Structure 1
């Protein structure tokens, strides 16, 4: 087994009197794509903030490989529309090397955008620029928190294909949070199902069949599950719907 880039043990967080995460132990090794899925309020963004060091755990520990470099693409980035900010200037926060910035934009499929204003970019262009910014750090671990949020289905699929390509080219690991279950299942080596604690984890095919996963996503997402089944060309029997519900978190959170 490859050495872990990030490993958490017995991680727990309480904020404002609410227990958001408890006993969360995960591991991300070099070169793998690991995706965290879970309902709203399940603690996904909180876990990401713990991994990147933006939040300290109430209990447990986060261990990072020595010298680990993390590239982070957040859910959203608030930009002041009254203040001009070109793509070139935004990327300069990550690197002063103009040639490196040009290469990064080309690498993510967004060449020639240097002079464009960030606020004028389309959703897909914006996310690719954000990804270029993260890549300029030469990360060992790329962390994506709902990075494809707001993109349409073809745009989302294209974005995750790009992530897979970058993983292969750079040899970095990827830890991502996503609601796009069918795309995630196609793109991930391993899936972690979170609902205040780790409900289940493993290879996508195994997680999608787990009772805990079905209890969270098996109802009300028929289109997503059907698309996933179709893409992977397999069917389930009449016992599809799970009746085993995972233990809910002690108190719900509003995702940070």
Structure 2
């Protein structure tokens, strides 16, 4: 069974239809990247897929008890607040030491458990956000332009880590990205949006 299936789905925002007639399946173990210009409906599609936005028309079905991990573009943390990486993973709910270390290891930052969040580099910070998303061992991992602000080597290293996560958890990965060179290397499938799905397929075809 597919993890997520959308059939003739339309999504609205502020009373206006943003995406029309979306037919889409998300399968376990695949990396899908969503690309498109600003205002094309990328974030709206993510919200529809995870259930934060109900379809205006059409249907969306999700596998029973589907677990979704989410890595945002950025997260503002008060630099004056003394907050270690390990303590951050306890927010809002405490996690066991074993689970925290396992998530940090999978995200590639196990040696930063005692570091202050305010002292992390951009790449380290995003990996900690990734670790937090991995605590639930998600079926679907969603990254909303998670490498924005990172340089090209930092972005490439982050996406290599995502590939390792996919291999480790056998989860589906859905990414919104403007890094087209990374898309070509990191994705199994690319969706091009502009108010609807203009095209989709393997990166070398799209």
Q: Give the strand-richer structure, 1 or 2.
A: 2
Residues in 1 aligned to 2:136 and 2:94: alpha-carbon distance in whole angstroms? 8
Q: Quick one: structure 1 residues 18 and 81, their matched pair in 2 at CA, closer, same or farther if it must change by over 3 Å? A: farther
Distance 1:79 1:53, change over 3 A: farther
Q: Find the counterpart in structure 1 of residue 46 from structure 2.
A: 48
- Matched length: 205
Q: Match for residue 164 of structure 1?
A: 163
Query: How many angstroms apart in 2 are the aligned matches of 1:95 and 1:203?
Result: 40
Distance change in 2, residues 1:57/1:81 (3 Å): farther
Whether 1:74 aligns to 2:36 is no
Deviations 1:58-107 (A, max 9, x none): 22222101111111111122323454332112211365111221122122
Structure having the higher Rg: 1
Partner deviation per Cα, 1:34-71 (whole Å, 9 max, x = no partner)? 11111111110111111122222222222101111111
TM-score (norm 1): 0.76
Unaligned runs of at least 5 residues, structure 1: 208-256
TM-score by length of 2: 0.93
Q: Distance in 1 between matches of 2:147 and 2:141?
A: 14
Asked if structure 2 preserves the Cα contact closer than 8 Å seen for 1:95 and 1:101, the reply is no
- Consecutive unaligned residues in structure 2, runs of 5 or more: none
Tell me the residue number matched to 2:178: 179
Give CA-to-partner distance per residue, 1:179-206, whole Å, 9 cap, x none.
0011111111111111110000011111
